[in-house]
Amino acid sequence: MNDAKVVVALDFDSEHKALSFADSVDPRSCRLKVGKEMFTYFGPALVKQLVARDFDVFLDLKFHDIPTTVGRACIAAAELGVWMVNVHASGGSKMMRESLEALQQFGDDRPILIAVTVLTSMSAEDLTETGIRLSPAEQVSYLAGLAKHSGLDGVVCSAQEARTLKQQCGTDFKLVTPGIRPKGAAQGDQQRVMTPQQALQAGVDYMVIGRPITQAEDPAMALDQINQSLQQG
């Protein structure tokens, strides 16, 4: 059984770098996320290579389209053998329900289906600019409620919202949190951040970590240090 909490965001522009990293770590020490950059460069072939190496792969393409299109995209993701796939909660309950329905044909082997709430790179001002008058915490809570009501397995949110969402949606509702920064790491474009230890204490299920690992001089060692810090609690 894989109880790794860290999902490494493989945001590389080189397939060689991504596979070298994958070959330098144990598939039980982390899960891997393939996002828009790598999928656009290297497509399903890369995902299949990672799955073949026994990694749990989170395909982070954040589907957001009409319900039929998103449902079919979820089927295509499941056929790649990914562990987790996501859609945007702001696509609405019809879109989320259709995604879940589309995955039922895979039975117990279906990927975990989660919904993006408010991107962790967004502040209150960024949200207001898009016409949303709620705070990030309020909007995350609203969209998480919609995702839960639509039958999804969980949401992408920031670790800052984790305690409230576990109370609101229950402990089984998966919380997947980017915006994780070990102490001293550059924040970059992330706005709503927490350290790995804070995120663990807040109750997140999986923490997505990219640059602090992938841009480290020794990415495998950076992952190891984060995993060790999580074991110390």
Ligand X SMILES: O=c1ccn([C@@H]2O[C@H](COP(=O)(O)O)[C@@H](O)[C@H]2O)c(=O)[nH]1
Q: In the complex with ligand X, which residue's Cβ is closer, 167 or 187? A: 187
Smallest gap from Cβ 108 to ligand X, in A, equals 27
CA distance 64 to 99: 11
Do residues 22 and 214 touch, judged by C-beta distance below 8 A? no
Check the annotation: does 17 bind a ligand: no
Residue type, 127: L
Residue type, 117: T
Q: In the complex with ligand X, which residue's Cβ is closer, 11 or 65? A: 11
Tokens 């020490």 belong to residue: 29
Do residues 26 and 224 touch, judged by C-beta distance below 8 A? no
Check the annotation: does 61 bind a ligand: yes
Catalytic residue among 17, 48, 62, 166: 62
CA distance 103 to 109: 9
Q: Is 48 a catalytic residue?
A: no
Smallest gap from Cβ 201 to ligand X, in A, equals 19
Q: In the complex with ligand X, which residue's Cβ is closer, 105 or 128? A: 128
The three-state (H, E, C) secondary structure of 86-147, written as one string: EEEHHHCHHHHHHHHHHHHHHHHHCCEEEEECCCCCCCHHHHHHCCCCCCHHHHHHHHHHHH
Using DSSP, state whether 228 is helix, strand or coil: helix
Catalytic residue among 65, 126, 166, 224: 65
Note the residues at the interface with ligand X (CB under 6 A): 9, 11, 35, 116, 119-121, 156, 178-179, 188, 190, 208-211
- CB-nearest residue to ligand X: 210
Q: In the complex with ligand X, which residue's Cβ is closer, 109 or 209? A: 209
Q: Is 65 a catalytic residue?
A: yes
Which residues are annotated as part of the binding site for substrate? 11, 33, 60-69, 120, 181, 190, 210-211
Residue ranges for the known binding site are 11, 33, 60-69, 120, 181, 190, 210-211
Q: Catalytic positions, please?
A: 60, 62, 65
